[in-house]
Chain A
């Protein structure tokens, strides 16, 4: 009897108190899937929201709304005054920051994403060339599909074949809080209205400091992780290969030979040679196959492939060195040499901003080893 009473007392609240739970049936929500953040005058934040709204009245489910406020949430509530459905952030897949915002630092805006349990930790972050609003509104008109999905598709396919470092919220905050490393994010620009992933944005802490090219993004990514089946383009000097050229098969007469291939496996290994002098050594190993050559070579000849490999090695080394000096000028370290330095330091301590001063001083010796595994059929 007593047991039954207790059981009853347990079940009654479940039924009665269920009214207190807020329901979120999807057909009554405007589900945001991308958000753009810009700055207005007087410290106001302007958000542009791309969302799905399942309305029986209209066949078009993608909508755009915008609002402004002092915080991102306030801006969302402001945008909500202009929509008939409740705006919900649980499905945000892409967060765009306008150039103005990025130049002032974006970490304070990430706060809302980190705190909200309903939003994913794997939100993609990106920077826009102009204002985020412009990219979104123009993009929606130009692409005629949900521009949020379009842009996250742009970035995702690059992540999938390891062409760029992962720009997810988790990776960004990780690189930000790591004292010896700085984050990199994709930069989206507008190509006649259609959004396009044009280059990478280099950050110093959370402040946008400069552009890097997409080719350089591969080099950074290869440094951060082992890359697999990544499309890879490089131009090598034609001179050492002159005598192997099959001129009757290749028309134009250029000084460089353009190669296109796929990196089957590419990785780096870095060690610190001399911590006091900030000397590093990075071994780069690339296994690749060749898919296309701008001029025909007799690849069956082992001598040719080894010469070609040498030329690619030279070129990769040059590119790495260029990337290093370029980032050293920005005082931002996308590789994480600072982390290696900190680990090998005596007390293992590195103060914030200390590495930004040391980074331009470092000296890296790149040792590149390229191996052409396959080159396909040759005529």
Chain B
């Protein structure tokens, strides 16, 4: 920032006359007819007012800017302008670069001829949609509202979630060709300073032409780009975002992106839902464990089937062996091919369902699930046992609260099926070991991805694998070495207060 200001001192284009300025601007806005450049005569002065029409709230320009400007009986200079125009946050600029940037950000510029600087007011007209329900992370309990594409709205929602002046929303601009505003959000009394510094450094030092979306930003600043696992959490729920920040994590909001980024996180964060907190602790724990089991099932069930049916007939229980054998007897393909075919079918259905409008999507589900499924069995293309297993593992993969993690789990299945079909249980074991080693090495913002399981910390287990009643959750996440570990007093939490009354 400081560098930029120094530069501007050197390249000042003022003072200049209005025709010159117009010519200069028009060369920059070549073939762009939307720049409104008007010259007003006022008290023997020449004033130029210019802006891009569709970026500006024209009503405001007329009512709050042009009216006082032209109605006044005195002559203007920059200081008077800044003092007497009933608009806040006016500022001065000198260079062409600042002017161009300002115009694109939705500022209105006023130049009084022969002044040394130009004055601008942000009068941006923001196009935004209304707040709506969360789509990809929909909930039953708790706040339903989702982030929108507007950064101002998102910041508003975050502030509403954390009513504390400890909440910092640091402004960072990233993008050389099309600069975009980011906000680094954290609680300065709670969050670990190292985490904040690391995140800030990664954002500030990012040299990139533009950022399309927060998911792109994640990929740009992640710890390991070659990994299949997402290392930052991307959420569209303001309550999840503010909850994470209030528990000491660092968040990033990106202009024009309906999701917020949370870091550092662990693998288990992807299996947590805010709903677990809104439910009673025992039920919340049950669902959390269920999701964990679902993840294992989703990755391993079909590969296990393939491995066992191809190589290890001796471990199948006798009653299952008979039904399995009878259904396999009709299938002309080897198990690996059969499983790949069905998994591919499910993936096709999911992808088609996601691309089509909701009404058609539902029909797709019925056609795919019922008609194709039964027909495939009757035609002898697959065994009906496998249909059940594949459906089960597909269902299990959809239980992950994070859509990103769900896709990761589903994709992981394919190499596992190949390993199972090629090397049997040994192959699956190889795959599992590979995954575990990979996860052990993975970090999120420099913090271990598998904590609190590795490095083991028993105090954190009740925040990841299961949940305890609130009076026992007195601490925040220990593994992340927060500045303020305690949420409330442990002893006071245990005291019953309603007896004396």
User: Once bound together, how far apart are the Cα atoms of A118 and B315, in whole Å?
Assistant: 9
A14-B423, A15-B422, A56-B330 known; A24 vs B322 contact (CB < 8 Å):
no
**A285 proximal to B (CB < 8 A):** no
Structural contact, B318 and A33, CB atoms closer than 8 A: yes
**B334 proximal to A (CB < 8 A):** yes
A4-30 vs B, CB cutoff 8 Å, 1 = contact: the mask equals: 000000000011001001011111010
Structural contact, B324 and A26, CB atoms closer than 8 A: yes
Structural contact, A118 and B314, CB atoms closer than 8 A: yes
A25-B335, A56-B329 known; A31 vs B321 contact (CB < 8 Å):
yes
Contacts of B322 in A (CB 8 A): 52, 61
Structural contact, A93 and B318, CB atoms closer than 8 A: yes
Structural contact, B311 and A24, CB atoms closer than 8 A: yes
**B485 proximal to A (CB < 8 A):** no
Question: At the interface, is chain A mostly helix, strand, loop or mixed?
Answer: loop
Structural contact, A91 and B309, CB atoms closer than 8 A: no
Interface residues in B308-354 by Cβ distance below 8 A to A read 309-314, 316, 318, 321-322, 324-326, 328-331, 334-335
**A54 proximal to B (CB < 8 A):** yes
Q: How large, as a class, is the contact surface on chain A? A: 20 to 34
Structural contact, A26 and B313, CB atoms closer than 8 A: yes
Contacts of A21 in B (CB 8 A): 311, 422-424
Closest to A118 in B: B314
Contacts of B310 in A (CB 8 A): 23-25
Structural contact, B314 and A90, CB atoms closer than 8 A: yes
From B321, B326, B334, B427, A91 is in contact (CB under 8 Å) with B321
Structural contact, A119 and B326, CB atoms closer than 8 A: no
Contacts of B321 in A (CB 8 A): 26, 31, 52, 91
A14-B423, A25-B335, A56-B330 known; A91 vs B313 contact (CB < 8 Å):
yes
Contacts of A56 in B (CB 8 A): 329-330
**A291 proximal to B (CB < 8 A):** no
Closest to B424 in A: A21
**A294 proximal to B (CB < 8 A):** no
Interface residues in A121-179 by Cβ distance below 8 A to B read 149
User: Once bound together, how far apart are the Cα atoms of A25 and B325, in whole Å?
Assistant: 9
A25-B335, A26-B309 known; A55 vs B329 contact (CB < 8 Å):
yes
Contacts of B427 in A (CB 8 A): 14
Closest to A18 in B: B422
Closest to B330 in A: A56
A41-77 vs B, CB cutoff 8 Å, 1 = contact: the mask equals: 0000000000010111000010000000000000000
Q: Which residues of A contact B (CB under 8 A)?
A: 14-15, 18, 21, 23-27, 29, 31, 33, 52, 54-56, 61, 88, 90-91, 93, 118-120, 149
Beyond known contacts A56-B330, A91-B313, A118-B314: 12 more, CB 8 A cutoff: A14-B423, A18-B422, A21-B424, A24-B313, A25-B309, A25-B310, A26-B316, A27-B328, A27-B329, A52-B321, A91-B316, A93-B318
**16 A-B contacts, Cβ less than 8 Å apart?**
A15-B422, A23-B310, A24-B310, A24-B312, A25-B310, A25-B328, A25-B334, A26-B321, A26-B324, A26-B328, A27-B328, A54-B325, A54-B326, A54-B329, A56-B329, A61-B326
